[in-house]
């Protein structure tokens, strides 16, 4: 009986606690605090610090600027802020709630989410943003949410979503996008492929009128107008090329890469010019060689009979021809015989010349 009486006493204490502390919230024995629909502008700070769940929905909360929310409740796992009109979310407003697992921001008239709004919520599992006025997603707001499993974006004002946002949402297992006024044109092609991979249903088009109410995942690229646009561009390019050929002009169609032809012409002209210069250089060298061969003449032979090279050269230049006496100076073997000059034929000495003069 003692444990039962103790439990009843604890429950009675929790029920009278709000009256004693002077706030209208109700508590239960599991750490849940219900402050819903109490016309509160600020979260009551008199609640126990160890509460794990807090419901502040249907109030008129004024969110603090440049400060964190609910700094007195670091043990919160669940926070419901839904149906607080014109809720303004400043950067890092939830950064002190590191244990938070569920955050409900539905029906708060949110039009914009700062990239650092959910900074510090690395353990957040479920984020509910349905029934707001989001027209676009500031992609980086998902980056701090490493453990996010469920993202609810139903019934906002989203008309399109970019590829980067889709890549970030790829890591979130459960994403709800129904009820947004999606525009099903060629820009919705990445969303269509993303929905097909996720096998998502009930995400329907609102415009254009011809596709209104049709599921985006059931459409193909031709329904979105992408193939029609590409085929029209190809037909236009083909028509331009045919017109250029018929007119026999050098103008090229205005397609991507059409400005490359001046570079091709310049390259061809440069190559031709270099080839001509090489041919001219080779031809000049050949002409110089032929001209030098016309001026060639054999070198003069050096006389073997006591003559000097200079004398032989001068005699050759004058056109003189050696006589027969000179040709007989050599023997058959080309050597001069010994004692060719007789002693009697030797020139008189100096003394004999002087004696001859005196006589």
For 67, the domain range is: 25-164
Same domain, 89 and 214: no
Q: Alpha-carbon distance 194 to 343, whole Å? A: 130
| Sign of the torsion formed by the C-alpha atoms of 38, 42, 43 and 46 | negative
Same domain, 81 and 190: no
- The helix or strand, by DSSP H or E, that contains position 185, with its residue range, turns out to be none
**Alpha-carbon distances of 139 from 72, 107, 162, 309, rounded to whole Å:** 30, 21, 9, 102
Same domain, 201 and 152: no
Residue 102 falls inside a structural domain: yes
Nearest alpha carbon to residue 23 among 35, 37, 11, 12: 35
Give the model's pLDDT for residue 254. Answer: 44
Same domain, 147 and 61: yes
Same domain, 190 and 80: no
Residue 209 falls inside a structural domain: yes
Same domain, 115 and 219: no
CB neighbours of residue 113 within 10 Å? 19
Same domain, 150 and 54: yes
Q: What is the mean pLDDT of each run of 10 residues along the chain (359 residues)?
A: 46 43 73 92 86 94 83 91 88 92 96 91 96 86 93 96 90 95 93 92 92 92 70 46 46 48 84 90 75 57 47 45 47 48 53 59
Q: Tally the domains of the chain.
A: 2
| Sign of the torsion formed by the C-alpha atoms of 251, 254, 255 and 256 | positive
Same domain, 154 and 74: yes
Hey, what are 256's tokens? 């991507």
Same domain, 90 and 203: no
Same domain, 31 and 66: yes
């Amino acid at each position: 009986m003692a444990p039962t009486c103790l439990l009843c006493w604890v429950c009675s204490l929790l029920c009278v606690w709000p009256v004693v502390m002077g706030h209208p919230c109700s508590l239960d024995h599991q750490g849940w605090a219900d402050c819903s629909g109490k016309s509160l502008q600020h979260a009551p700070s008199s609640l126990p610090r160890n509460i794990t769940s807090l419901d502040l929905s249907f109030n008129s909360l004024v969110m603090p600027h440049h400060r964190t929310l609910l700094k007195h409740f670091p043990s919160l796992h669940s926070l419901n802020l839904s149906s607080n009109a014109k809720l303004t979310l400043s950067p890092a407003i939830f950064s002190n709630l590191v244990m938070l697992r569920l955050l409900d921001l539905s029906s708060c008239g949110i039009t914009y989410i700062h990239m650092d709004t959910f900074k510090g919520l690395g353990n957040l599992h479920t984020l509910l943003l349905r029934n707001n006025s989001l027209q676009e997603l500031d992609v980086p707001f998902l980056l701090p949410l490493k453990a996010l499993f469920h993202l609810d974006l139903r019934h906002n004002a989203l008309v399109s979503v970019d590829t980067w946002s889709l890549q970030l949402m790829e890591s979130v297992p459960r994403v709800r996008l129904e009820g947004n006024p999606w525009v099903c044109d060629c820009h919705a092609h990445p969303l269509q492929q993303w929905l097909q991979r996720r096998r998502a249903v009930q995400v329907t088009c609102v415009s254009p009128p011809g596709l209104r109410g049709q599921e985006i995942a059931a459409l193909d690229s031709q329904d979105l107008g992408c193939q029609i646009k590409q085929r029209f561009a190809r037909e236009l390019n083909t028509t331009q090329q045919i017109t250029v050929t018929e007119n026999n002009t050098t103008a090229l169609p205005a397609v991507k890469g059409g400005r490359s032809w001046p570079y091709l012409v310049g390259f061809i002209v440069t190559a031709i010019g270099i080839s001509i210069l090489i041919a001219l250089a080779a031809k000049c060298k050949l002409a110089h060689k032929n001209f030098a061969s016309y001026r060639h003449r054999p070198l003069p032979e050096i006389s073997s009979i006591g003559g000097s090279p200079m004398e032989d050269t001068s005699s050759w230049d004058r056109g003189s021809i050696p006589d027969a006496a000179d040709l007989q100076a050599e023997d058959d073997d080309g050597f001069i015989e010994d004692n060719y000059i007789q002693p009697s034929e030797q020139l008189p000495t100096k003394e004999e010349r002087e004696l001859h003069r005196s006589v």
